[in-house]
Amino acid sequence: MRIDAGVATDTVKVLITGDPSKPRGPGYWQHQYSGNGQIDFTNARLLCYLEITAFVSDVFNEARDASTLAKAYDVIFLGGNGGDERQKLDRQLLVNWLNFANGGIEWGEMIDTDNNGSLDTAFADVMANAEAVRLNPASTEAQLRAQRQLLQTIHGEGA
């Protein structure tokens, strides 16, 4: 007779997002990550939101680094030239992930992706699709723009 005295463990990561709140636009998040003036969050909370983003995203921080307050600010702040379509899409991706981390949108929340008034696609799927377009080097400017415009509607910025 053989007795197995081994020990096994499992690990499960649990994401805890902020309390339900309203989604915010790029200007709000740009200000939060600027470190200037009245900021609604501690630096630790803002960094936690970036860690949540890195956990759920395939873009951050593999294709675009947003691992620090300054780097996140650089993604959100497009500067005087407004950025190219890939940079604009990165901005919208980060803003929506920050809204998710802050409780402004839920993982399974349904989104109207075709503007017909019917909620048809879960937020997580919308984000996965947008990130797939972002990561595809063959994506056209029009494809990047279409994803950016869709993501803008999630936080109420409009297309």
Q: Is residue 35 part of a domain?
A: yes
Spell 132-149 as b/e; 16+ CB within 10 A means b: ebbeeeebeeeebebbbe
Within-domain flag for 3: no
Domain span at residue 33 reads 26-154
d(CA 124, CA 106) in angstroms, rounded, equals: 8
Q: Which of 16-20, 42-46, 99-103, 113-117 has the lowest mean pLDDT?
A: 16-20
Residues in the chain: 159
Report yes or no on 15 lying in a domain.
no
Q: What is the pTM of this model?
A: 0.88
Q: Identify the residue whose tokens are 């595809």.
A: 136
143-149: average pLDDT = 95
Res 117: pLDDT? 85
Q: Quote the number of domains for the chain.
A: 1
Question: Does residue 10 form part of some domain?
Answer: no
Can you give the pLDDT at residue 18? 67
